[in-house]
């Protein structure tokens, strides 16, 4: 079956847009083909700095024929109705229609047969429309044309054919650009025209013309050559997958080279050197495997094979790197001349949020909260307060102004340079953590206190002004802050009443609502660990009122409940509970809520099965209550699991809604007692399945 080759050749496409553009091109073209009845066997899209390419394999030569019937007006209908029917059906006269009888009379029916169009015709129709409406984040017009594209579009390749045969060029025109079978290779090495036929020879021709079409292969070349070049100098590449991705989008023919800078610049912190070289020159840094420190060498990726072996390219990059590192060293030395504490005044002129005040006011609140949290997490209150006061001071340094991604880290460096307590210095960096689900959490007590204070303050503040996340929108990263709170508490095993902490940080009465949001983040965290989020709901809704905002206890309860429900006893107990709960729900509608909450009358327990269930509850309830009191949730669920045979027997042998009024009420009270006992551990109504 024939294959389609499509290439859109332009000026340089920004690296950050290439992968998305390739995916969009594939989706837009293949969806349009399928909508028109043209299925395919496979499709793959590619992107280089100067081209988007799509190959669609196994397409039919033409659309399938279509047969359809269109019912028209009744025989004898007015002339106007007949004329409308003929026009809509594409018939020349009413004689071309057939008459079909049904219970309502005789009607005209048009039997229409439409031949499918050639696939080339379909492609020629859809591609111009797709190109004109392509969803670039940013686009431009050039010259006198009306087409908008990310950068000026120069040519279009569109061929269609089967292997071993000369393909057909699909002809169409977009804003003066006529499709054909001619592309170009590398801007320097092969600027001339290249005629292509189908995908296989297209890839090979580009390779000869110094263009690696596949972005993944360009990434592999960059990684492998950079590692090899580093190892040849007994150095180690500092891996940076994001930079590999970006650089692969800047070059069509990656050539890896090594440069160096003066060793004196190594006095600047490693992270600053890396940020400087990465941001300004898109280069990789190298470290000494023996010490783990950066060296004065770096890796750059050129887009051509220079006749001098790359000496001029390396020299140019070294000159720029040297200038940038000089700036960084100036920032470093200048910033160290001003103490962090003396920078706090500048925070008064920086607005954190229009409704939440300045950065200074924010820091003031965080410091107060950190001091209150410190005893709860084993931290020195004075150190926690000091660290919180200084936590945002590096925001007004020259270095962080140039490289915002270094905030916190530079605070740690400047604090260390001042000779501040190491615990305080560490907290300045670590209070931002975790930045994401895979980032490490702070574990030192002072760092924990400041990190929790920062995140809880953020959540409380935005909750108080009703700026909560909605749908996919979360402009203030509140979900990340909440997940950070959850992870810090759980992974450090902290025993905190979150409701007390939140209420202490805010007088706006937002505790329960914010706690529910934190519970949602806990469910996300547990789901990522393979745990069931419905069990979290069940534990949070537990009827004993104990520590449902203590996340460590919540997780331990969830784990115990998970273990219980993995056993046959647990599954049967859940089934029995549901049966009891459903009966009670129905009967309470008749008798009123709480009608059966009183203790059952032992004298009215006449049948062995109901006496056995009562006796089993006499043993299980206090055992579970005592286990809950000592926070042994496994023992509590084990005690409940022992009820299983008596619950089964009760429902097998007892008619709950007995005709005798007192007997019915007493049996319902017994089921209500069972419901209370189970809900003390978890609300089984919330358990799915």
pLDDT tens digit sequence for 224-271: 999 999 999 999 999 999 999 999 999 999 999 999 999 999 999 999
What does DSSP say about strands 51-57 and 42-48: parallel, antiparallel, or unpaired?
A: antiparallel
Q: 276-279: which pairs have CB atoms within 8 A and are 24 or more residues apart?
A: 276/321, 276/324, 276/325, 276/327, 276/328, 276/403, 277/321, 277/324, 277/325, 278/240, 278/243, 279/403
Confidence category of residue 646, pLDDT binned at 50, 70, 90:
very high
Pick from 449, 49, 75, 1: nearest CA to 251: 49
pLDDT at 529 over 90: no
**CA count, 13 A, side-chain hemisphere, 346:** 14
- The phi and psi torsions of 184 (rounded to 5 degrees) equal -135, 155
How does pLDDT run across 144-161, given as a tens digit for each residue? 889 999 999 999 999 999
Whole-model pTM: value is 0.82
Helix (H) or strand (E) holding 109: strand 105-114
How much of the chain, in percent, has pLDDT values that exceed 90?
81
pLDDT at 81 over 80: yes
Cα(408)–Cα(412) distance, rounded to whole angstroms?
Answer: 6
pLDDT at 67 over 90: no
Confidence category of residue 688, pLDDT binned at 50, 70, 90:
confident
- The phi and psi torsions of 378 (rounded to 5 degrees) equal 80, 25
Question: In angstroms, how far apart are the furthest CA atoms of the chain?
Answer: 105
Alpha carbon 622 to its chain's center: 45
Cα(32)–Cα(325) distance, rounded to whole angstroms?
Answer: 51
Helices (H), 541-607: 551-565, 568-591
Cα(256)–Cα(253) distance, rounded to whole angstroms?
Answer: 10
- The phi and psi torsions of 291 (rounded to 5 degrees) equal -105, -20
CB 379 within 8 A of CB 304: no
pLDDT at 385 over 80: yes
Cα(522)–Cα(499) distance, rounded to whole angstroms?
Answer: 15
Signed CA dihedral, 416, 421, 422, 427: sign only: negative
Q: What is the mean pLDDT of the chain?
A: 94
CA dihedral 238, 242, 246, 251 (to 10 degrees): 40
Give the pLDDT of residue 276: 97
Cα(237)–Cα(384) distance, rounded to whole angstroms?
Answer: 37
Strand partners, 10: 153
Return the axis-axis angle of helices 422-430 and 409-418, rounded to nearest 10°: 170
CA distances from 570 to 275, 432, 451, 577, 640 (A): 55, 42, 40, 10, 8
Give the pLDDT of residue 389: 98
Cα(28)–Cα(154) distance, rounded to whole angstroms?
Answer: 21
CA distances from 646 to 578, 598, 652, 671 (A): 15, 21, 10, 12
pLDDT at 66 over 80: no
Confidence category of residue 71, pLDDT binned at 50, 70, 90:
confident
Return the axis-axis angle of helices 15-35 and 215-232, rounded to nearest 10°: 150
Signed CA dihedral, 648, 652, 657, 658: sign only: negative
Give the pLDDT of residue 545: 45
Cα(396)–Cα(524) distance, rounded to whole angstroms?
Answer: 35
- The phi and psi torsions of 342 (rounded to 5 degrees) equal -75, -10
CB 41 within 8 A of CB 237: no
What does DSSP say about strands 98-102 and 105-114: parallel, antiparallel, or unpaired?
A: antiparallel
Report residue 424 as tokens. Answer: 């305080």
Q: What is the DSSP letter of 115?
A: P
What's the average model confidence in pLDDT over 14-22?
Answer: 97
Cα(288)–Cα(234) distance, rounded to whole angstroms?
Answer: 8
How does pLDDT run across 419-434, given as a tens digit for each residue? 999 999 999 999 999 9
Cα(341)–Cα(362) distance, rounded to whole angstroms?
Answer: 15
pLDDT at 547 over 60: no
Confidence category of residue 508, pLDDT binned at 50, 70, 90:
low
Alpha carbon 513 to its chain's center: 24
What is the CB neighbour count within 10 angstroms for residue 282?
Answer: 16
How does pLDDT run across 479-490, given as a tens digit for each residue? 999 999 999 999
Walk me through the domains of the chain, giving residue ranges and CATH numbers: 3-61+118-208 (no CATH), 66-114 (no CATH), 215-335 (no CATH), 354-530 (1.10.3210), 562-686 (1.10.730.10)
Report residue 308 as tokens. Answer: 């001098």
How much of the chain, in percent, has pLDDT values that exceed 70?
99
Cα(391)–Cα(397) distance, rounded to whole angstroms?
Answer: 12
Burial class (CB in 10 A: 0-12, 13-18, 19+), 159: buried
pLDDT at 660 over 90: yes
| Per-position DSSP letters for 51-92, written without gaps between them | EEEEEEES--SBPPPEEEEEEEEETT--HHHHHHHHHHHT-S
């Amino acid at each position: 079956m024939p294959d389609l080759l499509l290439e859109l050749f332009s000026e340089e496409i920004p690296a950050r847009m290439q992968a998305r553009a390739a995916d969009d091109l594939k989706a837009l073209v293949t969806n349009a083909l399928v909508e028109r009845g043209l299925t395919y066997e496979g499709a793959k899209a590619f992107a280089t700095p100067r081209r988007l390419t799509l190959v669609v394999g196994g397409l039919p030569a033409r659309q399938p024929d279509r047969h359809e019937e269109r019912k028209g007006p009744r025989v004898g209908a007015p002339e106007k109705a007949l004329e409308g029917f003929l026009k809509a059906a594409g018939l020349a006269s009413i004689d071309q229609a057939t008459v079909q009888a049904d219970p309502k009379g005789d009607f005209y029916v048009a039997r229409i047969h439409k031949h499918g169009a050639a696939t080339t015709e379909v492609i020629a129709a859809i591609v111009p429309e797709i190109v004109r409406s392509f969803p670039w984040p940013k686009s431009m017009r050039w010259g006198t044309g009306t087409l908008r594209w990310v950068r000026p579009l120069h040519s279009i390749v569109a061929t269609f054919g089967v292997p071993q045969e000369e393909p057909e060029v699909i002809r169409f025109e977009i804003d003066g650009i006529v499709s054909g079978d001619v592309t170009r290779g590398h801007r320097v090495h092969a600027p001339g025209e290249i005629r292509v036929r189908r995908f296989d020879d297209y890839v090979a021709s580009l390779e000869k013309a110094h263009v690696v079409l596949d972005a993944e292969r360009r990434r592999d070349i960059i990684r492998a050559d950079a590692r090899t070049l580093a190892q040849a100098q007994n150095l180690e590449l500092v891996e940076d997958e994001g930079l590999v991705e970006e650089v692969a989008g800047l070059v069509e023919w990656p050539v890896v080279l090594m440069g160096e800078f003066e060793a004196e610049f190594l006095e600047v912190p490693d992270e600053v050197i890396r940020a400087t070289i990465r941001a300004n020159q898109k280069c990789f840094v190298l470290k000494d495997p023996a010490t783990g420190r950066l060296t004065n060498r770096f890796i750059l990726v050129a887009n051509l094979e220079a006749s001098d072996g790359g000496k001029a390219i390396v020299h140019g990059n070294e000159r720029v790197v040297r200038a940038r590192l000089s700036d960084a060293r100036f920032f470093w030395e200048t910033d160290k001349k001003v103490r962090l504490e003396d920078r706090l005044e500048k925070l008064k002129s920086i607005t954190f949020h229009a409704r939440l005040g300045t950065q200074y006011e924010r820091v003031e609140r965080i410091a107060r909260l950190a001091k209150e949290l410190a005893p709860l997490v084993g931290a020195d209150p004075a150190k926690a307060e000091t660290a919180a006061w200084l936590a945002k001071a590096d925001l007004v340094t020259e270095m962080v102004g140039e490289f915002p991604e270094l905030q916190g880290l530079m605070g740690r460096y400047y604090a260390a340079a001042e000779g501040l307590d190491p615990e305080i210095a560490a907290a300045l960096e670590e209070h931002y953590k975790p930045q994401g689900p895979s980032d490490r959490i702070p574990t030192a007590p002072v760092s924990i206190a400041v990190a929790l204070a920062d995140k809880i303050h953020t959540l409380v503040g935005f909750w108080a002004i009703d700026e909560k996340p909605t749908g996919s929108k979360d402009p203030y990263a509140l979900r990340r802050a909440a997940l950070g709170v959850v992870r810090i508490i759980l992974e450090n095993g902290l025993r905190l009443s979150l409701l007390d902490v939140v209420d202490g940080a805010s007088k706006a009465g937002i505790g329960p609502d914010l706690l529910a949001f934190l519970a949602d983040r806990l469910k996300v965290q547990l789901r990522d660990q393979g745990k069931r989020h419905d069990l979290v709901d069940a534990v949070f809704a537990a009827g004993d009122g104990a520590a449902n905002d203590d996340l460590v206890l919540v997780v331990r309860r969830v784990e115990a409940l998970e273990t219980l429900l993995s056993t046959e006893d647990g599954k049967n107990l859940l089934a029995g509970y549901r049966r009891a709960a459903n009966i009670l729900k129905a009967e309470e509608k008749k008798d009123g809520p709480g009608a059966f909450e009183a203790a059952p009358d032992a004298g009215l327990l006449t049948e062995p099965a109901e006496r056995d269930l009562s006796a089993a509850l006499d043993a299980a309830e206090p055992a579970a209550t005592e286990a809950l009191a000592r926070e042994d949730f496994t023992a509590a669920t084990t005690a409940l699991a022992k009820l299983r045979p008596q619950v089964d027997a009760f429902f097998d042998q007892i008619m709950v809604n007995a005709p005798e009024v007192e007997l019915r009420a007493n049996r319902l009270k017994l089921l209500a007692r069972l419901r209370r006992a189970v809900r003390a551990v978890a609300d089984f109504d919330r358990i799915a399945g």
